[in-house]
Amino acid sequence: MSEEFNVLEHELVPEHHLLSEDEAKKALAELKLSKDQLPKIRLSDPCVIALDQAVGPAEEGRIVKIVRRSPTSGISVCYRIIVRG
């Protein structure tokens, strides 16, 4: 029988973290941004679905922190707001 695949565990998928409201407010304040200025990620994105199942609830308006690690450019952190779709 097949085991369910978790996209977040794939080596090519960067780390995704669902931020709490306090963490989101702190991150936005540090970046001097509002939620509407963030790039978007859809509720239907496989990573958002996996986050919802793992730590949920991943709902519209929540912020996802994405951490990319590269041997050549080091660590890159970005934020996305979850939108319907």
How high is the pLDDT of residue 31? 96
Q: Domain range spanning residue 67?
A: 7-83
What is the DSSP pairing of strand 74-83 with strand 40-42? parallel
Q: What is the pLDDT of residues 3-19, one digit of tens each?
A: 678 899 998 999 999 99
What is the pTM for the complete model shown?
A: 0.90
CA distance linking residue 64 with residue 45, whole number of Å: 12
CATH number of the domain residue 38 falls in: 3.90.940.20
For residue 38, tell me if it sits in a domain: yes
DSSP strands (E only) in 19-83: 40-42, 63-70, 74-83
Domain count, the chain: 1
pLDDT in tens, 24-71: 999 999 999 999 999 999 999 999 999 999 998 999 999 999 999 999
Q: Does the residue 52 lie in any domain?
A: yes
